[in-house]
Amino acid sequence: MSVEKTRPRHGGHGARGITVLLRAMRDAVASEASAQERLDHLTRVIAGHVVADVCSIYLRRDSDLELFSTEGLKRDAVHVTKLPVGEGLVGVVAQSQAPLVTDDAPSHDAFRYFPDIGEEKLLSFLGVPLIRSGKTLGVLVVQNVKKRTYTDEEVEAVQAVATLLAEITASGELLEGEESAAVEAMLHGAERLEGVSVAPGIAIGKAVFREAPAARHRVFSRDSHGEAARLERALDDLRQSVDQMIAGRGLGGESLEILEAYRLFAYDRGWKDRLRAAVFSGLTAEAAVEQVQSENRTRLARAQSAYLRERVQDLEDLSNRLMRRLSGEDIDAPRELPGDAVVIARTMGPAELLEYDRDRLRGVVLSEASTTSHVAIVARALEVPIVASVDDALDLADEGDAVVVDGETGVVHLRPTREIADSYRQQQGLRSERQAAFAREAGLPAVTQDGVEVEIHMNAGLAVDMRNLAVTGAAGVGLFRTELQFLIGRQLPRVSDQERFYRDILARAEGRPVVFRTADLGADKSAAYMKRRREANPAMGWRGLRMAVDRPGIVRPQLRALIAAAAGRDLYVMFPMVTLPSELEAARGFIDQEIAFAEAHGKDLPRKIAVGAMVETPAAAWRARALARHADFLSIGGNDLAQFYFAADRDSDLTQRRFDPIDEGFLTFLKHCVDEAAAGGAPVSYCGEQVADTVTAAALLAVGVRRFSIPATAVGPFRRMVRSVSLEAISAALEAAYGAGGGAGGPVRPAFRASLEASGAALN
Ligand code: PEP
Ligand code: MG
């Protein structure tokens, strides 16, 4: 046992104590000694200041933690003792990435006895992980012989030291040669991250953060006054930019309150004082920002108030901006993308996606799942693959890292090995070959082997989508989602702008029909300029036609623009979220009013106006016959209809894949709707995204749907499937699959798929 006797308490804790400690650490790192001597000096300094009998630094090598330096344990254990991550107290700290404190270490569940290091008699243990970019680089441990409860202040001080140690280790200032290379490999090795695919496709490119991360920087400075002046200037700039941001947005209500709280932080005296103190302890301004932010994180995580805990994000954001300002960046200028960019961000709205230069943007990785639905629609239109819900993406990636976004399976590869990157390159090649093959089939009729004709239209929402009509050979646009124009702007689009846009879309359609769906606003699709009341269940709330009927201020001008744009042509208008026939009648009333308005102003009218209703609520589906009597055509919005039928949120990861649309109950329900629509005399189409899957599409043929509107990328595979099989074989396959287990609610898909394949159906 080589534990030295307990040292007298000196150095103290609290802000002054830490300042002294940081200064001593700076001197230790700056010395000319060898890497090992500097590390040992550092360990000694920390032990002295925290009044510990033992202080040790373990660094990670693959799945082990190696004792790199110790003050108090046996010297010859250094670089010999290795503990597996997850085992023993130190291993648990590394694995959980959280501090562990105990005053009776040997009785702790996770305690494991390692014979060679001489820690038998140490009762008190405090271990803190060294974390950098979300990865555990090692563990800093202080131990005492006696039973002793480390105070919150002491834990905080050791955490502050650990933050710095992680910084120093990662910066390459401390280690040399092979050891430094091991840390580098750990920080920058290949990673496979799982998320949820939001928009399909494969992207290979380089990581770009939505906001540029701070450049690499030194940790210690020799000129504290110079650093303090730099800090002062950067803080001034930051405050100015926050003021401008608030003034320039013309915000009110909740958004303004949030930004005001943000401004308060930027002007907070305490924040500035702590930054200055850290600089005068010998840190560079950048390291001071990181140091203070790490303290804030710990403090705010413990705060009682949820409001304060949520503010961590504001402070993170401010610190990040301050760091970028310190590196001389203009924090107000929008980011220009480099070529082959894969943007990594927490969340992203559709407007932002559209603002990026499409020639440079290859893919997107989001760490959160929220707000994915709008961005997904735009991403599919632009053919930008997106994987969302990738929790660690922001922490684990570095700007410029190679990234593969696999929008087919929802996987992201960071810094992929050459084999992985090559395999994806091959897949990309195959995809474009496949697309070329589908394009060659674009002129072939979509008729089944037994002569049943199928109409395939495509979905659209942007002008760029329209080029897909020619590429895919789609019969027209069966669903044009007009709300995107309302969601991406800062204000309600003017009637003249809307008219110009619709006219352009019709021109690009070159005579093929385009079904314009009036803006399906509300629920998750709400523009910043729209004042909305908070609803507990917005998907079932005031949205679509409900909102239009109550407040025609958006839909009437939109109808005016559509009528004007389609002058002399056929106009197809469709209303979203219809529940009752009476709502459709009200909508027809608006059209009549707008026709009267156009006539009164001597304007040319469309040749014909066909009015459609979307069947997206079970209420509408159940009464399709009645609805059909008031409509010229119906279109089943399977995304919403399935959401309400299964009572399963279409945007939630947890419910999204839980229910299969080829469930016998749902298909029976759809069949009822299709039959009732026919009885009511209106043609019916299906425009849910589920038809992008050929197996689901086949099942819909079996229940009588003959007209579809589907994502452009799905048109080729759908046509090939239709041509490869007879309707009779499809119907028989579905019956057999239900008989084989579907009746009991069991999975139908594998059996259905197998029978379809056996009948020669081309399914992908
Ligand atoms: C639907 O609900 O199926 C639909 C096509 O509309 P959206 O996806 O735009 O809600
Ligand atoms: Mg819908």
C-beta separation of 173 from 132 below 8 A: no
Amino acid (one-letter) located at 711: P
Lowest mean pLDDT among 123-127, 213-217, 560-564, 699-703: 213-217
Residue 551 Cα to ligand 1 midpoint, Å, equals: 22
Closest CA to 474 of 504, 505, 513, 502: 513
The neighbourhood of ligand 2, an ion, using CB within 5 A, equals 616, 637, 640
Q: Is the CB of 40 under 6 A from ligand 1?
A: no
Mean pLDDT of the chain: 86
pLDDT in tens, 359-371: 899 999 998 765 4
pLDDT in the model for residue 489: 66
Most confident of 284-293, 322-331, 549-558: 549-558
Q: In which band, very low, low, confident or very high, does the pLDDT at 254 lie, cut at 50, 70 and 90?
A: very low
pLDDT higher than threshold 90 for residue 33: no
Report the residue among 577, 579, 639, 641 best suited for mutation to probe ligand 1: largest number of ligand atoms under 8 A from its CB.
Answer: 639
Cα angle 515, 380, 565; round to 5 = 30
In the block, tokens 């308060």 appear at 264
Query: Per 3-state DSSP, what percentage of the chain is helix, strand, and coil (rounded to 5)?
Result: 50, 15, 35
pLDDT in the model for residue 374: 65
Lowest mean pLDDT among 6-10, 105-109, 425-429: 6-10
C-beta separation of 695 from 714 below 8 A: no
Report the residue among 640, 666, 691 best suited for mutation to probe ligand 1: largest number of ligand atoms under 8 A from its CB.
Answer: 640
- The b-or-e profile of 570-582 (16+ CB within 10 A means b, else e) is ebbbbbbbbbbbe
Residue 708 Cα to ligand 1 midpoint, Å, equals: 13
C-beta separation of 657 from 409 below 8 A: no
Is beta strand 64-71 parallel, antiparallel or unpaired with respect to 82-84? antiparallel
pLDDT higher than threshold 50 for residue 131: yes
Please name which ligand lies nearest the alpha carbon of 689: 1
pLDDT in the model for residue 661: 93
Residue 408 Cα to ligand 2 midpoint, Å, equals: 23
Report the residue among 459, 485, 636, 687 best suited for mutation to probe ligand 1: largest number of ligand atoms under 8 A from its CB.
Answer: 687
Percent of the chain having pLDDT more than 90? 50
Average pLDDT estimate for 209-221: 74
Distance between CA atoms of residues 380 and 715, nearest Å: 14
C-beta separation of 342 from 203 below 8 A: yes
Q: Is the CB of 639 under 6 A from ligand 1?
A: yes
Q: In which band, very low, low, confident or very high, does the pLDDT at 465 lie, cut at 50, 70 and 90?
A: confident
Most confident of 39-53, 130-144, 569-583, 652-666: 569-583
Q: Cα–Cα distances in Å, from 400 out to 205, 339, 395?
A: 9, 11, 14
How far is C-alpha 224 from the chain's CA centre? 40
Phi first, then psi, for residue 513 (nearest 5°) are -70, 145
Which one of the listed residues 374, 413, 457, 630 is annotated catalytic? 374
For the sheet with 361-366, list strands across it: 191-194, 411-414, 402-406, 202-209, 341-345, 361-366, 386-388, 196-199
Amino acid (one-letter) located at 729: A
How far is C-alpha 236 from the chain's CA centre? 32
pLDDT in tens, 373-420: 667 877 887 889 999 988 778 778 888 999 999 998 899 999 998 888
Q: Is the CB of 460 under 6 A from ligand 1?
A: no
pLDDT in the model for residue 308: 64
Q: Which atom of ligand 1 is nearest to the CA of 636?
A: 3
Q: In which band, very low, low, confident or very high, does the pLDDT at 644 lie, cut at 50, 70 and 90?
A: very high
pLDDT higher than threshold 70 for residue 547: yes
Q: CA neighbours within 13 Å on the CB side: how many for 759?
A: 27
Distance between CA atoms of residues 57 and 175, nearest Å: 13
pLDDT higher than threshold 80 for residue 536: yes
Q: Which structure tokens are listed for 619?
A: 């209420």
Closest CA to 723 of 458, 433, 432, 443: 443
Residue 616 Cα to ligand 1 midpoint, Å, equals: 8
Q: Cα–Cα distances in Å, from 128 out to 64, 137, 157, 297, 640?
A: 16, 11, 11, 15, 48
Nearest CA to ligand 1 atom 6: 637
Cα angle 548, 549, 551; round to 5 = 65
Distance between CA atoms of residues 545 and 613, nearest Å: 10
C-beta separation of 397 from 344 below 8 A: yes
C-beta separation of 686 from 706 below 8 A: no
Strand-pair partners of 204: 404
Average pLDDT estimate for 642-665: 87
Residue 500 Cα to ligand 1 midpoint, Å, equals: 25
Percent of the chain having pLDDT more than 70? 88
Distance between CA atoms of residues 154 and 161, nearest Å: 11
- The b-or-e profile of 453-473 (16+ CB within 10 A means b, else e) is ebbbbbbbbbeebbebbebbb
Q: Which atom of ligand 1 is nearest to the CA of 459?
A: 5
pLDDT higher than threshold 60 for residue 518: yes
Residue 756 Cα to ligand 1 midpoint, Å, equals: 28
pLDDT in the model for residue 316: 73
pLDDT in the model for residue 2: 42
Q: Is the CB of 481 under 6 A from ligand 1?
A: yes
Distance between CA atoms of residues 288 and 219, nearest Å: 8
pLDDT in tens, 147-168: 988 887 788 788 888 888 888 8
Residue 637 Cα to ligand 1 midpoint, Å, equals: 5
Average pLDDT estimate for 104-119: 83
Q: Which structure tokens are listed for 213?
A: 């991360």
Q: Which of the two residues, 506 and 282, has the higher pLDDT score?
A: 506
Nearest CA to ligand 1 atom 1: 637
pLDDT in the model for residue 411: 94
Closest CA to 17 of 221, 297, 277: 277
Residue 257's Cβ-count burial label (10 Å; 0-12, 13-18, 19+) is exposed
Nearest CA to ligand 1 atom 9: 481
Q: Which structure tokens are listed for 62?
A: 């693959």
pLDDT higher than threshold 60 for residue 180: yes
Average pLDDT estimate for 29-38: 82
Q: Is the CB of 638 under 6 A from ligand 1?
A: yes
Q: Is the CB of 680 under 6 A from ligand 1?
A: no
Report the residue among 372, 486, 614, 615 best suited for mutation to probe ligand 1: largest number of ligand atoms under 8 A from its CB.
Answer: 614
Distance between CA atoms of residues 585 and 575, nearest Å: 11
Residue 520 Cα to ligand 1 midpoint, Å, equals: 9
687 a catalytic residue: yes
Please name which ligand lies nearest the alpha carbon of 525: 1
pLDDT in the model for residue 217: 77
Which distant-in-sequence residues (6+ apart) come within 8 Å of 629 by Cβ? 581, 680, 681, 682
pLDDT in the model for residue 255: 46
pLDDT higher than threshold 70 for residue 433: yes
Q: In which band, very low, low, confident or very high, does the pLDDT at 117 lie, cut at 50, 70 and 90?
A: confident
pLDDT in the model for residue 745: 59
Nearest CA to ligand 1 atom 4: 637
pLDDT in the model for residue 246: 67
Q: Which structure tokens are listed for 496?
A: 């003249």
Distance between CA atoms of residues 590 and 592, nearest Å: 5
Average pLDDT estimate for 271-278: 91
In the block, tokens 């190679």 appear at 402
- The b-or-e profile of 599-618 (16+ CB within 10 A means b, else e) is eeeeeebbeebbbbbbbbbe
Q: Is the CB of 520 under 6 A from ligand 1?
A: yes
Q: In which band, very low, low, confident or very high, does the pLDDT at 684 lie, cut at 50, 70 and 90?
A: very high
Which distant-in-sequence residues (6+ apart) come within 8 Å of 524 by Cβ? 371, 373, 374, 538, 539, 651
Distance between CA atoms of residues 553 and 382, nearest Å: 30
Most confident of 191-200, 243-252, 367-376, 602-611: 602-611
Which distant-in-sequence residues (6+ apart) come within 8 Å of 557 by Cβ? 495, 498
pLDDT higher than threshold 50 for residue 332: yes
41 a catalytic residue: no
C-beta separation of 201 from 362 below 8 A: no
Q: Is the CB of 483 under 6 A from ligand 1?
A: no
* Radius of gyration (C-alpha) of the chain in whole angstroms: 32
Query: Other CB atoms closer than 10 Å to residue 152's CB: what's the count?
Result: 12
In the block, tokens 């580098």 appear at 184
Amino acid (one-letter) located at 19: T
Query: Other CB atoms closer than 10 Å to residue 195's CB: what's the count?
Result: 25
pLDDT in the model for residue 6: 37
pLDDT in the model for residue 362: 96
Q: Is the CB of 53 under 6 A from ligand 1?
A: no
